[in-house]
Amino acid sequence: MGTVTLRGNATQIVDGFPAVGSQAADFHLVTKTLRDVHLSDYAGKKKLLSAVPSLDTGVCIASTKRFYEAAAGLDNVVLLVVSDDLPFAATRVCADEEIDKVETLSMMRSRSFAKDYGLLIEDGPLAGLCTRAVIVIDENDKIIYTELVPEISQEPDYDKALAALA
C-alpha cells in the first residue's frame, strides 16, 4: 500500500500508481451523458488526466479550473477529470463555474480505475474515493508524467503537468 496524507494524517491507498514510461491501463468510466468510455475513446490525443476525490470541493474545482484555463487552447489535448461524483453533480459544478471544455468522468459503474491506477483511498474519512493525482498520457497511451499529490488537500504542480503536454 501507498500513503498520502489528509490534513497531515496518514491515509492508505492501494498500490499500483503508474510509472512514467509505462503503458496506460484501460479504464471504464462514465461521461456526463451517462455514456461508458474507455481509454481507446481518446486514441490519438494527449490526455491530461486529473483524478480528484470530488469536484464539489474547493481544491478540486480550483485545480479543474486551472487546468481548464491552461489546456483549453492546446491542440490535440483532452482534459479528463475523474472523480467519484455522479455525472449530474459534476455537470452542475462545471456549469456553475462556467467550465465547458472539460470531460468529467465518473467511477459510478466501476471502481477499477481507482484500483488499476493506484488511487483508491483505503482508510480514513475519504475511504472509497480517489486520491488527488495527475497523469499525462501521450497520443500512443504511454505515460509521460505523473504526480501523486502527497497531501490530498493541496493542489498539484500545474507547471510540470502542463510542460509535459508541450
Confidence band for 152, pLDDT divided at 50, 70 and 90:
very high
pLDDT beyond 80 at 19: yes
Cβ atoms within 10 Å, residue 51: 26
pLDDT beyond 90 at 96: no
Mean predicted lDDT score pLDDT of the chain: 92
The Cα 119–Cα 81 span in angstroms is: 14
Matching residue, cell 478540486:
60
- Tell me which of 30, 39, 60, 152 is the catalytic residue: 60
**pLDDT per position as a tens digit, 98-107:** 887 788 999 9
Q: Which fold has domain 2-165?
A: Glutaredoxin (3.40.30)
Look at residue 99 in the predicted model and tell me its pLDDT: 80
Q: Hey, where are the domains in the chain?
A: 2-165
**pLDDT per position as a tens digit, 26-75:** 999 999 999 999 999 999 999 999 999 998 888 888 898 888 888 777 88
pLDDT beyond 90 at 95: no
Per the annotation, the verdict on 94 as an active-site residue is: no
The Cα 73–Cα 88 span in angstroms is: 26
